[in-house]
Amino acid sequence: MSKNLIRAVAYPRYSSDNQREESITAQLRAIEEYCLRKGYVLVNSYPDEEKTATTDRRPNFQRMIADSAKRLFDVVVVHKLDRFARNRYDSAHYKRILKKNGVRVESVLEQLDNSPESVVLESVLEGMAEYYSLNLAREARKGLLENAMQGIHTGGRPPYGLKVNPETRKLEIDERRYKAVQIYFEGIDKDVPLEKIAETLNEKGFRTQEGRKFTKNSFGEWASNRKYKGDYTWDVSSPKDEEGRRNTNNKKPQEKQIFIPGVIPAIIDPELWERVNKKMSDRKRTGGRMKAKVNYLLTGKIVCGKCGSLYAGNSYRNPKSAERTLLTYYKCQSKCGNTSVRKEDIEHITIEQLAERCFSDAGVAQITVRVQELYKQEQQQYVSDIEPIRDELSELEGKIKNWVEALGNGVKSVIDNIKQAEQRKEVLEYELQRAEMIQKTNALDESLIFRVINDKKHLLLSGEEEDKKQVLQEYVDRVVIQPSTDINHYDAEITYRVFSNGDEGSRTPVRR
């Protein structure tokens, strides 16, 4: 199956004894029609009968969550959002798992959950929560920063060739390993292949941090590690993801990192370090250019007005061009004969109209009103949830403590329980923090809303391709290519998921 197809699964459910079997059938029929309208391919269904959404003990629901990790589908479609979960924290917990696995949840009857107004509100609340968290963590961060300024190690495994002095807690040279780092830098400076450097280190008896033999992939970020030339670095990695994990390969921009030069004994001469760092950076950039991929910004949004199928991205090299120019299109997947459309044409006009119609002064004013209305609704719900969240957190912490004790006694069967409970606890703690923050905030500062909307507009007009794609995926409902046989002349009906009359769509002639 083409990777450009959007694969959907249905989750129909009924819980009451007085609901008939046809309820599942009716939900499934509505989901099928929804998928056809959106251009999704419905690949499976996970119906749960006579099961309540107030509990997550639903066999097909759990099977669906497990299957999401296998990358079998891209979207879960429910008839109504309360079919997924009536408890907002179960919903947050499982949507988080699905999002981690690249799957989103959509409702046939409710577009509000994924509306741009909701997206803006979510961004505002996340920004407020981040500020709230930073305030709480400020004092702890002050202590860490002070340690960093003194060159005291603030945690984590020291780089290969360095070690932590147990008395001063500062980094110092590891006499057993530092020469391996020097051999690496000198080798790269002389254009020695990584395989040969690894072979040399193995012959001299060096081993990795894990005690294994070196390979060409063992060196990671050695060339960019400023600690090797004596600079203490702190707060370098990007923030944790929504699963609470940090990818140390993702770095913050250099202007946001903290460097204290000359605090650590240098293993590598600064001039040698600079040469090697530049050389390895140039290699990465060259490799990236050779492997560049086409980013189709309207993936999953373009629909054929002739047969109803989804358009998919398509590219090839022009055989008549001496430079073998890359040509990029969106093309109907059913090959019904409707015209293909040039990627640059349809993306340009969609971005241009989104900026004019949705990010105009009138549009921003409308969305600000809607966000404030949504906030009031959320506020009432969240404030009433504070005590129930605290109660569940207290109960959960007691269970985790008992399970950890059981694990210490050799009962290994509780490991999965602990993992699931920790995930649940993380969601509850986040939601409690948000609820307490909302309780203290009667109304949103409209400047925050304007800032979020302007950030979206900035990403759309001047951002990277991924940034533009993010905004288009949030704000564009669909683009229907009306029947035509001329790639230079066709009509596109563009529907935006925002503001008044947004669902009606506007037919735009595309002419080249």
- pLDDT attached to residue 9: 94
Among 53-57, 101-105, 170-174, 179-183, the minimum mean pLDDT is found in 53-57
Look at residue 121 and give its three-state secondary structure. Answer: helix
- pLDDT attached to residue 241: 46
By the 8 A CB rule, do 107 and 81 touch? yes
Pick 443 or 493 by higher pLDDT.
493
Residue 106 and residue 154 in one domain: no
- pLDDT attached to residue 447: 82
Q: Which helix (H) or strand (E) holds 81?
A: helix 81-84
Burial class (CB in 10 A: 0-12, 13-18, 19+), 152: middle
> Which DSSP category does 483 fall into?
S
Residues facing 258 on adjacent strands = 234
By the 8 A CB rule, do 110 and 80 touch? yes
Does residue 237 surpass a pLDDT of 90?
A: no
- pLDDT attached to residue 509: 80
- pLDDT attached to residue 180: 95
- pLDDT attached to residue 4: 55
Indicate which CATH number applies to the domain containing 159: 3.90.1750.20
Evaluate whether residue 429 is within a structural domain.
no
Q: What is the pLDDT of residues 55-92, one digit of tens each?
A: 456 788 888 988 998 888 999 998 876 667 655 556 66
Range of the domain at 178: 150-290
How much is the average pLDDT of 329-340?
92
Rounded Cα gap, residues 256 and 234, in angstroms: 10
Mean pLDDT of all residues in the chain? 78
Residue 162 and residue 87 in one domain: no
Does residue 409 surpass a pLDDT of 70?
A: no
Does residue 335 surpass a pLDDT of 80?
A: yes
Strands 476-481 and 341-342: unpaired
- pLDDT attached to residue 18: 40
How much is the average pLDDT of 136-158?
63
Does residue 374 surpass a pLDDT of 60?
A: yes
Rounded Cα gap, residues 510 and 305, in angstroms: 15
Evaluate whether residue 282 is within a structural domain.
yes
State the angle between helix axes of 361-408 and 415-440 in degrees (0 to 180), rounded to the nearest 10: 140
Does residue 485 surpass a pLDDT of 90?
A: yes
> Rg of the Cα trace of the chain?
27
Rounded Cα gap, residues 415 and 387, in angstroms: 28
Torsion of CA 174, 283, 327, 493, to 10 degrees: 30
Number of domains in the chain: 2
- When pLDDT is cut at 50, 70 and 90, the band that residue 502 belongs to is very low
By the 8 A CB rule, do 79 and 107 touch? yes
Residue 188 and residue 275 in one domain: yes
DSSP string, 140-151: HHHHHHHHHHTT
- When pLDDT is cut at 50, 70 and 90, the band that residue 54 belongs to is very low
Pick 448 or 213 by higher pLDDT.
213
Evaluate whether residue 480 is within a structural domain.
no
Residue 197 and residue 104 in one domain: no
State the first-to-last Cα distance of the chain, in angstroms, to the nearest integer: 33
> Which DSSP category does 157 fall into?
P
Residue 73 and residue 24 in one domain: yes
Evaluate whether residue 426 is within a structural domain.
no
Among 137-141, 301-305, 449-453, the minimum mean pLDDT is found in 137-141
75-81-87 Cα angle (round to 5): 115
Residue 83 and residue 209 in one domain: no
How much is the average pLDDT of 216-234?
86
In sequence order, what are the residues at sequence separation of 6 or more whose Cβ sits closer than 8 angstroms to the Cβ of residue 77?
8, 9, 10, 11, 31, 34, 35, 40, 42, 105, 106, 107, 108
Evaluate whether residue 184 is within a structural domain.
yes
Phi, psi of 54 (to 5 degrees): -80, -5
Q: Please say which residue of 290, 308, 338 terminates a domain.
A: 290
Rounded Cα gap, residues 237 and 71, in angstroms: 28
- pLDDT attached to residue 115: 63
Pick 490 or 359 by higher pLDDT.
490
Nearest to 264 by CA among 225, 207, 237: 225
Look at residue 460 and give its three-state secondary structure. Answer: helix
- When pLDDT is cut at 50, 70 and 90, the band that residue 205 belongs to is very high
Both tokens of 383, joined, read 């404030």
How much is the average pLDDT of 375-391?
78
Evaluate whether residue 405 is within a structural domain.
no
By the 8 A CB rule, do 412 and 92 touch? no
Does residue 118 surpass a pLDDT of 60?
A: yes
- When pLDDT is cut at 50, 70 and 90, the band that residue 436 belongs to is confident
Residue 37 and residue 161 in one domain: no
- pLDDT attached to residue 3: 45
